[in-house]
């Protein structure tokens, strides 16, 4: 299990951007799986009833993201310049060494943010999840 503890103002998780559908890991270029999906999340204009497969049909909430079953090679892309309050804790899905699940950003602007607001012990939890890569997110959990 990977846990991100409570962060102070000075200590925030910041990651560098990687671009799906290919990821550079340890000097090896990994192509996305043929069945991989790019799932978009937009806090302002998203709709949890939509399919999430394009920016125009993006999901809105962390609850929708957390309840989805992910497959190897899937990408979860949060819209830049937006913030979500709550916990990122996907309940279903695994990646593989060749096709990890990628969590990153799309669009232009500031890094997307996930803010636990001190309501959770951890703002990001990957419990019993294998081969997940998180990048380009700002994670805070200030109470």
Backbone region of residue 109 per phi and psi (left: phi > 0; alpha: psi in -120 to 50; beta: other values): left
Q: What is the DSSP letter of 36?
A: -
Q: In terms of pTM, does the model score above 0.85?
A: no
83-103, pLDDT tens digit by residue?
Answer: 999 999 999 999 999 999 999
Structure confidence at residue 35 (pLDDT):
80
Structure confidence at residue 99 (pLDDT):
96
Structure confidence at residue 33 (pLDDT):
64
Bridge pairing between strands 92-93 and 75-79:
unpaired
Query: Rounded to whole angstroms, how far apart are CA atoms 104 and 107?
Result: 11
Task: Going residue by residue through the chain, which has 143 residues, state the pLDDT in tens, using 9 for 90 and above.
Answer: 444 444 333 333 333 333 343 444 333 344 556 689 999 999 999 999 999 999 999 999 999 999 999 999 999 999 999 999 999 999 999 999 999 999 999 999 999 999 999 999 999 999 988 999 999 999 999 87
């Amino acid at each position: 299990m990977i846990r991100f503890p409570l962060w102070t103002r000075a200590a925030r998780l910041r990651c560098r951007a990687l671009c799906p559908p290919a990821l550079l890991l340890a000097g090896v270029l990994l192509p996305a799986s043929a069945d991989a999906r790019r799932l978009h999340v937009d806090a302002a204009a998203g709709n949890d009833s939509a399919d999430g497969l394009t920016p125009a049909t993006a999901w809105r909430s962390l609850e929708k993201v957390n309840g989805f079953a992910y497959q190897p090679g899937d990408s979860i892309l949060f819209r830049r310049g937006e913030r979500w309050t709550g916990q990122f804790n996907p309940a279903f899905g695994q990646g593989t060494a060749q096709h990890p699940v990628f969590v990153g950003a799309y669009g232009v602007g500031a890094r997307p943010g996930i803010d636990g607001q001190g309501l959770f012990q951890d703002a990001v939890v990957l419990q019993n999840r294998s081969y997940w890569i998180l990048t380009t997110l700002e994670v805070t959990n200030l109470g």
